[in-house]
Amino acid sequence: MSPAAPPLIVCDVDGTLLGSDGRVSPRTTDAIQRAVAAGCRVLFATGRPPWWLDPITDAGFSGVAVCTNGSIVFDLDARAVIASTPFKTDVLVSIIGRLAAADPSASLAVHRVGAGAECGRVDDHDLGLWSDADFSVCSRAELVSEPVVKVLVRSHLDVGSLVDVVSDAAAGAAEVSVSSDFGLVELMAAGVDKAAAVHALASSWGIDARTAVAFGDMPNDLGLFSWAGHPVAMGNAHDDVRAAAMEITTGNDDEGVARVVERWFPLGA
């Protein structure tokens, strides 16, 4: 292990840890496992809910993960929610009302507190927008019948216009995020993002943000990049993420994470 090796590596999942095939490559798996064996903490921070973390556990990784853009902290070994920060129901109802008025084409899905796929719900407004989702269908009123940690919004608007509409509807009462190129905008409770959740965990471990490395590719990683001492953008990253990075590695299909981690934790060290 290099003397300058970081005590904490924070890694986004989609477009970063995972290749386009949805898997962690053997080289990346080996590099991360060497880091862990050397005493480095590796923390995965993703927009995914807990029930979509199989690619991480299938690669043999354990510990905790920051899910749903920071609103859930999840124990990968026990498959249990450690902490969650849901919306206040009245706040969320108001946001949804403003959004529906501003963009009648908007359709919503939610992630509720929990570890299983039964915690995902999509409203019945325009199911054609959610052909790739495995959520149960319910009415819009039922979406908020249980605590919600993340709202997902799709619409017939282009993603830039949708971000503007959602931000106006949130009116400062929610965090607005974009984590994919597929016309999806996400909301979390005010003050909730990956960086806040990672900061809380790092502080509990006695780790200074200035010594941490963070990997990411999309705007929902920008908070992490401001927090970590060494932010690394993937070669396939969004322009805003590349601009915020201290270093740009190769893409997620070209061992971008492994190439950087191996500098500190080389094979045979």
- Domain 89-189, classified CATH 3.10.20.440, yes or no: no
What pLDDT digit, counting tens, does each position of 134-181 carry? 788 888 889 999 999 999 999 999 888 999 999 999 999 999 998 776
Q: Break the chain into its structural domains and give their ranges.
A: 8-84+193-264, 89-189
Instruction: Identify the pLDDT of residue 181.
Output: 66
Note the pTM of the prediction, 2 decimals: 0.92
d(CA 173, CA 165): 14
Instruction: Identify the pLDDT of residue 218.
Output: 94
| Number of continuous H segments (helices) and E segments (strands) in the chain | 9, 14
> In the chain, which residues have pLDDT < 50?
1
**Which residues, at least 6 apart from 129, have a Cβ–Cβ distance to it below 8 Å?**
107, 154, 155, 156
What fold is seen in the domain 8-84+193-264?
Answer: Rossmann fold (3.40.50)
Amino acid code (one letter) for 151: V
**Which residues, at least 6 apart from 171, have a Cβ–Cβ distance to it below 8 Å?**
95, 98
DSSP for residue 14 = I
Q: Give the strand pairing for 120-123 and 136-138.
A: parallel
Instruction: Identify the pLDDT of residue 1.
Output: 44
Instruction: Identify the pLDDT of residue 120.
Output: 86
Which residue reads 């292990």 in tokens?
Answer: 1
